[in-house]
Structure 1
Amino acid sequence: MNKKRAFTLAEVLITLGIIGVVAALTMPSLIEHHQKQVVETKLKSFYSIMNQAIQIASIDEGGLDEFNTTLANSCSDAEAASIECNKAIYEKYFKNHLKSTSYIDNPNEIDRFAVALTNGAIASFKYKCRDIGLYINKDAIKNTRVGKNYFQFAFYSTGASGNRSKYFKGKGMEPYINGDWDGTTKGSKGLYSDSGNATKIIQLNNWKIPKDYPFWE
């Protein structure tokens, strides 16, 4: 009768050690991969939802440019960054089209009007709701990393300063880009030169974070 050989304690410990080493090597990359997927999903979803809201509001105003002008005239330039101004605009034009759970308008917590979305992200609004940001989660408010947990958008269909005017003109909400962007990726004035361009980089890669993305670490 053949007897099955049992593992010795040493063999078991060695096996467990190997498993532990493999887990230690693979877990960080798995966690990072998941975090990037969350960012990609929330960015793409927010871009779609906000532009739907803008399109609906634009119909009543006569078009994108007319709606943008309406926002520009909604309050004085001195009030443009205030929570009160942006909250009033949000409630009038966007509230019914974004699935939000609560307002975040405490100046001690965040310096702009913002709303918590049902997917855990935080949408922020400034300068008459034309400078728009997305915090991936609430923790990002106190530990903001532009290009990793906070991303910038803009709605300037009537144009904006610098080279970016041609990328905003006639469009709804688009990823923010620096005014001196020269159309390159890695040049001195390219997208990779400033984390403020992060959203545009991801959009141009079909809402996927590129392998050589410079703003994650």
Structure 2
Amino acid sequence: MRRKVAFTLAEVLITLGIIGVVAALTIPALVANHRNKVTETKLKKFYSVMNQAIKLSEVENGDIVNWLPDVIDENSRVFENWYLKYLDKHITSTSKYRDTTNTTHYNVALSDGSGFNAYSPSSTAESGTQRAYFFYCLDFKNCKAESYNGKDTFLFTLCADGRFIASSYCTSLPSRETILQACKNANASKRQACTALIQYDGWEIKKDYPWRK
């Protein structure tokens, strides 16, 4: 008759303890990696959707530089025309309001749960190269103007030459090291270079990205 082999209570507890330690060490990293992948996917999708909207509009209206006004305000109807015609299938709701400087802001909720707040700079210095700022948020509930922390909210810009880009580098794109340092050292709510860094790296959040989740 064979002797039955069984684990002692101490052995079971030790095994469970080891499993618990391994889980505690690995699960947070797995969750963080998943969140970073979601961020990468949403940023790349938003960039693609906006550029597709521009291309579709150019098919009907000609080159964007010929119809993009110097200042995109409430009267120009450019935002409304984009929303209703070329971004319609991606949108769940839109609204607009005026801030304390009488600038019109547009809030747009997208079908994947993300969204953006957009407005056009009113100053001549800014509008010479930037036509509109888009404050993209992974969760529409967190959308607000002038917020781009490089974690949940990111800055995109519609340039005067018709390019829709990550960050606001409409004139020239600095080196990766310059962008990295700008992302790392900027004010917590003004990390415009962080969007450029992610795009520079092929829409990936690299290990040296300062604000990994």
Tell me how far apart the structure 1 counterparts of residues 96 and 31 of structure 2 sit (CA, whole Å): 32
Q: Does 1:202 align with 2:198?
A: yes
* Partner residue in 2 for 1:94: 83
- SS across alignment from 1:120: coil
* Partner residue in 2 for 1:154: 157
Deviation of the 1:33 alpha carbon = 0.2
Contact 1:182–1:190 (8 Å) recurs in 2: no
Deviation of the 1:68 alpha carbon = 2.2
Tell me how far apart the structure 2 counterparts of residues 90 and 12 of structure 1 sit (CA, whole Å): 64
Amino acid at match of 2:80: E
Number of aligned residues: 191
Match of 2:107 among 80, 104, 114: 114
Amino acid at match of 1:209: I
Tell me how far apart the structure 2 counterparts of residues 131 and 96 of structure 1 sit (CA, whole Å): 20
Pairing of 1:167-182 with structure 2 (within 5 A): 171-177=162-168
* Partner residue in 2 for 1:134: 136
* Partner residue in 1 for 2:65: 65
Amino acid at match of 1:175: A
* Partner residue in 1 for 2:128: none
* Partner residue in 2 for 1:82: none
Deviation of the 1:27 alpha carbon = 1.0
Higher percent of residues as strand: 2
Deviation of the 1:149 alpha carbon = 0.6
Q: Percent identity?
A: 34
Contact 1:152–1:199 (8 Å) recurs in 2: yes
Give the 3 Å change call, closer, same or farther, for CA 181–52 of structure 1 in structure 2: closer
Deviation of the 1:92 alpha carbon = 1.6
Structure 2: gaps spanning 5 or more residues: 122-130
TM-score normalised by length of structure 2: 0.75
Amino acid at match of 1:135: C
* Partner residue in 2 for 1:164: none
TM-score normalised by length of structure 1: 0.74
Contact 1:58–1:67 (8 Å) recurs in 2: no
Structure 1 range deviating more: 52-61 or 188-197: 188-197
* Partner residue in 1 for 2:125: none
